[in-house]
A and B are shown apart, each in its own frame.
Chain A
Amino acid sequence: MNRPILIAGLAAVTLSLGACASKPKQLPPEPGTTTTTQTTPPPSQPTGPVPGSQADFVASVISDTVNFDTDRYNIDASDQGILQSQASWLARYPAKRITIEGHCDERGTRDYNIALGERRANAAKNYLVSLGVDPSRITVVSYGKERPLALGSDEESWAKNRRAVTVTVS
């Protein structure tokens, strides 16, 4: 169930951005609405995401998100794997551009978090560039603590919110 939830979450992010990312052709099932019809084998014609679409990106990469420790913005080994998978996808679709959103948890002051989100988004960008992605294809934006993903006020939620999210742009 992880993948559909992730896609649903992403669709929300894309909509809220107002960006013109192409929508997945087929919406993933709502979480928790598993029915017996889904056990039938898929039809023979391809029904996967449109190649090069945001849905295809999310389905192809390890994750669209890298996470950070409190006040940190370094790209660790697991982040590197995630960004390498993103760079591979971007190599397949050289016309695609991306926006990297930098985010922070709520336990920081507003102005500092905007600056820290910039650092995080740029750290992810710089790593992608080091893997050969043309920097002109990458836009960064910091949302500071303004757009949390997890809504709790606890360590688990804060860890999820300290993130850089890659979103494809048509």
Chain B
Amino acid sequence: MKIRDLLLFGTLLTAPAMLDAQQTTVPSSSASQAAPEDEGLTGSVTDESEWQDLGIAIPSFPTNASVPTAAEGGNTEALGRNVARVVYNDLRNNGLFKPVGPDQLPEVAFPQVTAPTFDAWRGRSAEMLVQGFVKANDDGRLTVGCYLYDVALGSELARQGYVVKPEEWRRAAHKCADMVYSRLSGESPFFDSKIAYIAETGPKDRRRKQLAIMDSDGANHRFITNGQATALTPRYSPDYSKIVYLSYLNGAPRIYVYNIGTGQQTLVTSSTNPTFAPRWSPDGKWILYSMAIAGNTDIYRVPATGGQSTRLTDSPGIDVGGSYSPDGSKIVFESDRSGSQQLYVMDADGSNQKRISFFGGRAATPEWSPRGDQIAFTHIGGNFRIAVTDPYGKGMRFLTDSWQDEAPTWSPNGRIVQFFRTERGSGKTGIWQVDLTGRNERKLNTPVDGSDPAWGPVLP
């Protein structure tokens, strides 16, 4: 094993011991190793146009021996094609790359995974090559190897291996896509993550609203609530063990903490006042929520394990929502104390409340980027548009332009904003996402209409 491998896999040791998708060492390739500081391959992707033409070939991942597996495809050979398809779709859907997937490419023999035929790939004008393999282990689990090659240089840029249970095969593919994305863009990974949202069905005046979850690419979709009580505004806890959300169970809006493992749920406070707009602190120890008392709404904080609530705002206006800065020291929230909805920042204990939005129109539903440098929000000025500003209210710019786009949530790496779009008239909703340039916008595939998306962190 070379030193680079040790460095690469050294980062694994900091991860929790109970890894679901365990990384493992994979054989090194015969291709020469490119130094990590190679110019042109890292760096910021602020100007995406340079990346649009970066051709990435992703052929099917061969197997050493095709054996039955419980993962999709039924055997490891078919699974290898499915893994490559997931990697291809991940990389295709963020607008940075122009990948070519396994269904448009020739098969690769197992030994070629670590010894690519670079000349053949140059002939296909592929600049980057992602190869990998799938192996069934004796214990029923799977090992998936993932290699990134620079075709022009004829060298290996990165490599990772993952050991997963058959039912979690997609996570290996997302981890592979994350490795490629991170190595080529210089950004943090985000594909191996999940989204909680509200699935909507039925006519406009009787919308059935169910809590649902799915992977970042829409796979592994699952309804959590049955829709008998209206569910709204979910948020995943940072460790994905719980979802906090609003439900009209028992007739009034109250915040519940739903435990995904046990299926149990508890009220966030014992108060009989309506509670809504729940948010987690980045460390998962606190829940911010809004509570109306005699018509006046303020923001409160309560330990996630229950206990005494602390009131953070006390203006006679509507103070609502709230989103922690990544270090947990500040909170951006929305208040109409000045006459219309605007953005305010305060210290986490409620002190030093200051308005930051002075760009005309109204500003609502602020969400602090996981990178800390931007705040996404809903700008209301005629239409509802997703916009971003820095934490001081400077450099405001629009990311979307539609009739009603609302409620942004950040990708774990702070590069993409997800939101929901409502169609004028019909009231039909859909979940959309847009990158920070505003140029790459797309709708997510959900089984039914969707709103109130909440993107969780990258899985360990």
Contact = CB atoms under 8 A, between A and B. Distances in A.
Interface of A: 16-18, 71, 73, 106-107, 109-112, 114-116, 118-119, 121-123, 126, 140-142, 144, 146-149, 151-153
B290 A153 contact: no
A interface, by DSSP: helix, strand, loop or mixed? Answer: mixed
A119 to B, nearest CB: 5
Contact of B378 (A109, A140, A144): A109
Q: Is the interface of B mostly helix, strand, loop or mixed?
A: strand
A149 B204 CA distance: 9
- Which of B290, B292, B407 gathers the greatest number of chain A CB atoms within 10 Å? B292
Contacts of A121: 295
A149 B203 CA distance: 12
A110 B290 contact: no
A112 B425 contact: no
Contacts of B79: none
B383 to A, nearest CB: 10
A114 B206 contact: no
Contacts of B253: 114, 141-142, 144
Contacts of B380: 109
Given A111-B321, A112-B334, 9 more contacts: A73-B295, A107-B384, A112-B318, A115-B292, A116-B318, A140-B295, A142-B253, A147-B205, A148-B204
A71 B342 CA distance: 14
B341 A109 contact: yes
Given A110-B233, A112-B334, A119 B318 contact: yes
A167 to B, nearest CB: 12
B276 A141 contact: no
B364 A109 contact: yes
Interface string B393-417: 0000000000010110000000000
Nearest to A109: B364
Nearest to B452: A110
Contacts of A123: 295
B424 interface: yes
B407 A110 contact: yes
Contacts of A151: 203-205, 427
B294 to A, nearest CB: 6
B297 A118 contact: yes
A139 to B, nearest CB: 8
Nearest to B275: A114
Nearest to A161: B205
16 contacts: A17-B251, A71-B340, A73-B295, A110-B233, A110-B407, A110-B452, A111-B365, A114-B246, A114-B276, A116-B318, A118-B297, A119-B297, A141-B274, A146-B230, A148-B427, A151-B203
A123 B170 CA distance: 52
Q: Give me the 6 closest cross-chain CB pairs, A-B, nearest first.
A: A122-B295, A115-B297, A111-B277, A118-B292, A109-B364, A115-B318
A137 to B, nearest CB: 16
A114 B204 contact: no
B320 interface: yes
Contacts of B294: 122
B344 to A, nearest CB: 14
Give the residue among A106, A118, A153 with the most B Cβ atoms within 10 A.
A118
Given A109-B407, A110-B232, A110-B406, A118 B274 contact: yes
A74 B206 CA distance: 28
Nearest to A121: B295
B369 interface: no
Contacts of B232: 110, 146
B425 A153 contact: yes
Contacts of B274: 114, 118, 141-142
Interface string B331-347: 00010100011000000
B429 to A, nearest CB: 11
A124 to B, nearest CB: 10
A12 to B, nearest CB: 9
A112 B251 contact: no
Contacts of B384: 107, 109
B272 to A, nearest CB: 10
A143 to B, nearest CB: 8
